[in-house]
């Protein structure tokens, strides 16, 4: 499946209100994330401008300061950005930050290697456009993989994309019928969506993990099954040891840290 085509599944971008708005024109933006376990330096990719600019606005607004890493899974990832974990609460002018999403920006050059910074999102069942959470993000820890495991991951990636595209076709057909004043039966919707899916599959190649990416996954490690489904928009440039340290903390049955791991402050580096 052509990776560029996956972008067509996404809809328009909605950016919610933030307390402090700012424009950004600098290249190769770097961010310092000071955590209760140590400092992590991040580089934001210019190839994902919607996510880059959204993250910059949030960092500059100070909205991340005090937020916890609320979901941690060792050998997988550390997730933060849930503003409801902020001790001081959410400013009244930032209520919309809880619900807004960002259009997916899948770039074949950016993948889920160890240290990748990516956007969390809701699952394909309710979010077939694979739109990103406006505020929640994760940093990949992962593990090294074999070629056999990468082959399996590749298959899972294609299954996930196919599921999302087909769900999007179902919604498209249903919405079109509704707007035309025709309440189509489920069987009719499914038949039309299946026809669109057949055409889609016959004109697009399957997703493949490149040899260069395989080399990274087999040495540095990562979580390849998330590629082409979750937007990667940056990477750790310093502090992978801190990521490992956070990933190793004790968690409960819901993957929440027993003791808080907090972002003390984030700031844009000069």
- Give the model confidence (pLDDT) of 200-220 as tens digits: 899 988 999 999 999 999 999
- Spatial contact of 40 and 243, defined as CB atoms under 8 Å apart: yes
> Which tens digits make up the pLDDT trace of 42-66?
999 999 999 999 999 999 999 999 9
pTM listed for this prediction: 0.83
Q: Which domains does the chain have, with CATH numbers?
A: 3-143+225-268 (2.40.100.10)
| Non-local CB neighbours of 172 within 8 Å, separated by 6+ positions | 193, 196
Q: To 5 degrees, how large is the angle CA 130–CA 135–CA 140?
A: 70
- Spatial contact of 68 and 85, defined as CB atoms under 8 Å apart: yes
Which regions in the chain score pLDDT beneath 50? Answer: 1-26
Helix, strand, or coil (residue 167): helix
- Spatial contact of 161 and 154, defined as CB atoms under 8 Å apart: no
Q: How many CB atoms lie within 10 A of CB 151?
A: 13
**How far is the C-alpha of 47 from the C-alpha of 27, rounded, in Å?**
10
């Amino acid at each position: 499946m052509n990776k560029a085509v996956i972008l067509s599944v996404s809809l328009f971008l909605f950016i919610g209100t933030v307390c402090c708005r700012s424009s950004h024109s600098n290249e190769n933006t770097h961010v310092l994330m000071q955590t209760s376990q140590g400092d992590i330096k991040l580089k934001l990719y210019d190839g994902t401008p919607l996510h880059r600019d959204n993250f910059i606005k949030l960092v500059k607004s100070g909205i991340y300061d005090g937020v916890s890493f609320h979901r941690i899974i060792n050998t997988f990832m550390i997730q933060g950005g849930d503003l409801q974990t902020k001790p001081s609460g959410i400013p009244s002018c930032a209520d919309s930050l809880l619900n807004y999403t960002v259009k997916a920006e899948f770039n074949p050059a950016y993948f889920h290697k160890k240290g990748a910074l990516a956007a969390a999102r809701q699952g394909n069942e309710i979010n077939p456009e694979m739109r990103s959470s406006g505020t929640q993000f994760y940093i990949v820890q992962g593990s090294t993989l074999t070629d056999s495991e990468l082959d399996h991951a590749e298959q899972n990636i294609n299954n996930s994309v196919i599921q999302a595209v087909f769900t999007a076709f179902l919604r498209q057909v249903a919405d079109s019928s509704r707007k035309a004043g025709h309440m189509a039966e489920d069987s009719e919707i499914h038949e039309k969506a299946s026809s669109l899916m057949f055409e889609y599959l016959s004109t697009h190649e399957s997703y493949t993990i490149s040899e260069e990416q395989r080399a990274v996954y087999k040495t540095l490690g990562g979580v390849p099954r998330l590629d082409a489904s979750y937007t990667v928009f940056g990477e750790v440039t310093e502090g992978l040891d801190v990521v490992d340290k956070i990933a190793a903390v004790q968690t409960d049955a819901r993957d929440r840290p027993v003791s808080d791991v907090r972002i003390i402050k984030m700031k844009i580096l000069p």
